[in-house]
Amino acid sequence: MDRKEAIFKMRDQGWTYQAIANLIGISRQRVHQILNGNEKYRTSKNKRWRERYRYARIKGFTSQEATNLKSRSKKIIDQLAVERSSKE
């Protein structure tokens, strides 16, 4: 039985998220994500952040600036790039 199956079985037996988390060695929130089918959340979020980081680098931002902008939308990155170029 893999970890995910064990989590579902424990929950069906009435275990709390916290009790499952303590036994398995993960966070209560991670148990919640697994039980609610949101395990791909981190992967998709990281993928979006990588895409925005690359986009910001293409627009001429430094590595540190791109890291700070990775949670912003491409539209905002474009606006900041235009403002930045007008100042130079």
- Which carries the bigger pLDDT value, residue 37 or residue 1? 37
Q: Is the pLDDT of residue 39 over 70?
A: no
CA distance 15 to 32: 12
User: DSSP label at 26?
Assistant: S
Query: What predicted TM-score, i.e. pTM, was given to this entire model?
Result: 0.48
pLDDT of residue 20: 93
Report the pLDDT averaged over residues 24-32: 90
| Phi, psi of 50, rounded to the nearest 5 degrees | -65, -40
